[in-house]
Amino acid sequence: MRIFNVLPGFFNPQKLLKGALLGVIISVSAHAASENTAATNSSLSNEAEANNVVNAEELKPLLQPLANSTGEFEQRLYDQQGELVQESSGTFALKQPGRFRWDTVEPFPQNLISNGKTIWLYDPDLEQVTIKSFADQQDQLPIRLISGDFSVIESGFEISRIIEQSDADLSNTENQHYVLKPLESEQLKTIELTFSENHIQSMTVTETTGFNTVFEFQNNQPLEKLELSTFEFAVPDGTDVFYDD
């Protein structure tokens, strides 16, 4: 086993989730993402009005089921022109507060694991693991959001409910769209959440660079009898270890 220190900025969870094709920084779309996804999300944001700003309490019950669940994900990364750059798929497990496991299966295996205190990114093909503290940092807002750290909703975002022109009824639960604008973040521009019948369908993360990461959550099931060891990681023999302090 060889141990290395990571250069500052190397372990950016936002790039990590994305670059690891785990993108659990996440955008989830139950509707198949296409090359027009970025344009569609942008148009939704433009339809938001100032009087649609909502309280964090409206969003918490919608996210609660995801924060304690297992399922499958698909991820797509789009560039500034809306062109598909990367895509991946795998399985996930989330347990509030702050525990998560994202196992990418395609196009190559990778594991992103956290016990709420430490994050491990393991690449079995390269026999490398990168380790970082799961700290209270702004660039970790998306993963903290979906893993049940709802304090970030209360203090970290301005939240707007998007009303499409075809649906001006706020009580309608068939399609619910929210835009979360981080109050302090150099990396994130918006996080857009889509729900249908009170179930999360998509989360799209737009970076200040113009890149969009879109996730689709599928076959979500309530978390049942999952051992806490699922959210721990033991470094295999012969693995190079990178620490980002």
- 23-48 pLDDT, tens digit each: 333 222 222 233 333 444 444 444 43
Residue with tokens 């009170």: 198
**Secondary structure of 160-186 in the HEC alphabet?**
EEECCCCCCCCCCCCCEEEEEEECCCC
Share of the chain above pLDDT 90, in %: 30
The answer on pLDDT for 84 being more than 90 is yes
Mean pLDDT (the chain, rounded)? 75
Residue 193 pLDDT more than 50?
yes
CB 222 within 8 Å of CB 68:
yes
- pLDDT value at position 43? 41
Q: Give yes or no for a contact between 193 and 178, defined as CB atoms under 8 angstroms apart.
A: yes
pTM for the complete prediction? 0.73
Range 109-118 average pLDDT: 91
pLDDT at 201: 83
Structure confidence at residue 89 (pLDDT): 93
Classify domain 3-203+210-222+238-244 by CATH architecture. Answer: Clam (2.50)
The whole-number pLDDT of residue 145 equals: 79
pLDDT at site 1: 58
pLDDT band at 220 (very low <50, low <70, confident <90, very high): confident
Quote the pLDDT of residue 136.
54
What value does the mean pLDDT take over residues 216-243?
88
Give me the mean pLDDT over the 11-29 stretch.
36
**Measuring CA to CA, which residue among 228, 205, 241, 193 is closest to residue 25?**
205
